[in-house]
Structure formats: C-alpha cells, structure tokens
Chain A
Amino acid sequence: MKLALSLLLPALGVAFGIWLGFAVPGQVPNAYVKYLGVALLAAFDSALGGLRAGLEDTYDPTVFFSGFVANTVLAGLLTYVGDRLGVELYLAAVIVFGARIFNNIAIMRRIIIGRLRRAR
C-alpha cells in the first residue's frame, strides 16, 4: 500500500510528460525517430532500474542520474555511429535495454511477491 502511494509522484510525472509531449508544437523529423526510440528504451530502463534499487533499498541518486544520462548518451552515440557506418548498431542498445527491462521487472516481481507473502 505504501509502495503504491510512493509511486503516485512518478506516475504523475509520466502523465505530465505525455501531456507535454502532445502539447508542444512541431514534429519530430523522420530521421530522428530512431534516436527517440532508443532514448525511450534508455529512459524506461533507468526508471525500472531506479524502481528496483528503491525496492532493494540500494537507491543512490548519483548512480541513478549518471546511469540515466550515460545510457541515453551512449545509446544515441551508437545510433549515430551506426547510421554513419551503415551498420544497425542501435540494435545493440535495443537488445541490452530490452533484456535489462525484463530482468528488472522479474526481480521486482519477486521482491513484491516476497513482501506480500511475509505480510500475510
């Protein structure tokens, strides 16, 4: 219950972001859609990582933010270099982030299930 309540602020953040994304005028040029996709994965991965760290009580804001920025920048860089070379390097970011997202969700599931069992 407390966990759900503490997620209210992050949920509001996502809602605000979606509103903002629809409210801003203009459009993303097609060439940058790939970058946006990779950035989305990086942001999602960071969010889940932070969530997990919070649940494991190992959360550290410095690690969290540096990870977010470094991951996003690296993913963007990979995509850019891949575009230059004609190799789809951004797939590396997609696979790594994708795998980590599943991983983090699995770990969080176990933590939450464990807590629910202990509470009973």
Chain B
Amino acid sequence: MATLATVPTKPAHLRLSWQLSLALVGVVLGVIVALLFRTQASQGFPLANQSTGTLAALLKQQDAVDGRLRATIAEQRLELDRYERQAAAGRSLSHVARGELQRFKIAAGLVALTGPGLTVALNDSPKPAAGPVDAQYKLVHDYNVREIVNELWASGAEAVAVNGQRYVAGTPIRCVGPVILVNEERIAPPYEISAIGPAKAMAAALQMPGGVLDAMGPQIQSGVQVHLAAATSLTVPAYPALPAFHYAKAAQ
C-alpha cells in the first residue's frame, strides 16, 4: 500500500480513458459538422444572397449564352426549312403534308405573319414618379399590357406581338423591377403592341366604357400615354423557338 501511494499517478490528460472519451465526443462532433456542412451545401447557390455586382456578372454571362443559343435556333430553323423543301420537292403527298405543317406552324405562332391591324403604343408619364404610390399612376405596368393583349384576342386579333416579341400560347407577361418580361425577353417603355386583325373592332373593344383603357384613366391623367393606330399592313415576327414539353404528352 505504501508503495502505491508514492507512485505518482499520470496526469489526467495522459490517461487513455480521457483520450478515448474525448475521441468519442469528437466522433459525434465530426458527424454533426459533416451533416451540417452537407445540408448547407445542398442549399445550392442562393441568388438572393449575392451582391449586385455578382448578379450583374451572372446576368451578362447568361445573356451571352442566350445569344449563342438564339443564333443556333436561327441556324437550325434554316436547316429545317431546307429539309422540308427538299422533302416536299416532287412528291405530292409530302407536298400536302408540308401545307398542313405550315398551317399548324401558323397556328402555333412559329411563322412571321403580315396583315392589317391595330397598334397600341404605350409610354410612361414624362413626369418623374414621386415615390412608389405615385409610380402606380405614372408608369405602364405589366398588367396594363396583359389586359390590352387579352382584350385584343377577345376582339378578333389573329396574331399579337409586344415590342417584337410574338405572343403565343403560354407567353408570360410579367413585371420584373423596372421592366416587363415577355417571352423571358426584357422590354422597356415605350411599348408597342401590334395585333393583326379587325382594327376597328379591336379599337372599339379597348375603348369600351368600363373597359381596359377606361380602367387606365387615372394613369392617363397622370401622364401615361396611350395611342391607338390602325395600320393597313403590320408584320408580327415568329416565335423564336418550338415550345418544349417536359411534362405533357398527347392523351390517347
């Protein structure tokens, strides 16, 4: 017993039990750190947290990609056109098919169209808006454009374009900050809506009491400009791409 008492015990931090228990807690610590890290990493790249500079750079980059893709689309359309023409040459059946195809393409908005119609020019008030409430009255909004386009369809329009963007089935018109997106294309005032169709009927529908332009009264009084003009010959461009269907299939 006496010898035991004189043997100096190791300090706690050199004992194996101490090392083992710390190691055990260390394992727990490591697992949690890894799990948290993985969860954070899976949150991806939240755009909302990025600085304006980063976002601007990203936007520029995407615009460049966009431009390249557009060029590809134009190229491939030409090629497709060539194939169609070659296929149709000499064969009456494929000739018929080609005519049919052209009709469907017109209906889908994939062909530039021309004809008489109406243009609606819209512009923000020349006076600057004093605050967000005032901006409600002095700017042309996405919903103004949407309602006018809707009314044009209702009154007989056969083809509609907003600032050169063809309006097709599924075209969104929405507000993104100071600009409006049509077909994912940013457009800024002045806006020009071109509609091929019965000019008189469409103008009358827009100006109907209690109608779309009537509802814009407060805006027009604040200086928003709306100008309707009938045209004997309008051209609306083709929708630039075939819409992609990832979910929808033809039902049997």
Which chain A residues border B42 with CB–CB below 8 Å?
27
Interface check B248, CB cutoff 8 A: no
Interface check B18, CB cutoff 8 A: yes
Question: How many angstroms from the CA of A107 to the CA of B27 in the assembled complex?
Answer: 24
Tell me which residues from 21 to 69 in chain B have a Cβ below 8 Å from any Cβ of chain A.
Answer: 21-39, 42
Question: How many angstroms from the CA of A14 to the CA of B33 in the assembled complex?
Answer: 9
- A10-B19, A47-B25, A61-B17 in contact; A17/B39 too (CB < 8 A)? no
Q: Could you tell me if B38 and A58 are in contact, using CB atoms closer than 8 angstroms?
A: no
Q: Could you tell me if A14 and B30 are in contact, using CB atoms closer than 8 angstroms?
A: yes
Q: Could you tell me if A21 and B31 are in contact, using CB atoms closer than 8 angstroms?
A: yes
Question: How many angstroms from the CA of A22 to the CA of B32 in the assembled complex?
Answer: 10
Which chain A residues border B12 with CB–CB below 8 Å?
53-54, 56-59
Report the contact-size class of chain B (Cβ under 8 Å from the partner): 20 to 34
Question: How many angstroms from the CA of A28 to the CA of B40 in the assembled complex?
Answer: 10
Shortest CB distance A53–B (Å) = 7
Q: Which of A35-43, A73-81, A92-100 contacts B (4 or more CB under 8 A)?
A: A35-43
Q: Could you tell me if B17 and A18 are in contact, using CB atoms closer than 8 angstroms?
A: no
Which chain B residues border A6 with CB–CB below 8 Å?
13-14, 18-19
Question: How many angstroms from the CA of A58 to the CA of B18 in the assembled complex?
Answer: 11
Closest to A38 in B: B32
Q: Could you tell me if B13 and A36 are in contact, using CB atoms closer than 8 angstroms?
A: no
Task: Please report A residues at the B interface, Cβ cutoff 8 Å.
Answer: 2-3, 6-22, 24, 27-28, 30, 33, 36-37, 39-40, 43-44, 46-47, 50-51, 53-59, 61, 64-65, 68
13 residue pairs from A and B, CB less than 8 Å apart: A6-B13, A10-B25, A13-B27, A15-B30, A17-B28, A17-B34, A20-B27, A20-B31, A22-B34, A27-B42, A36-B35, A43-B25, A57-B12
Task: Please report B residues at the A interface, Cβ cutoff 8 Å.
Answer: 11-15, 17-39, 42
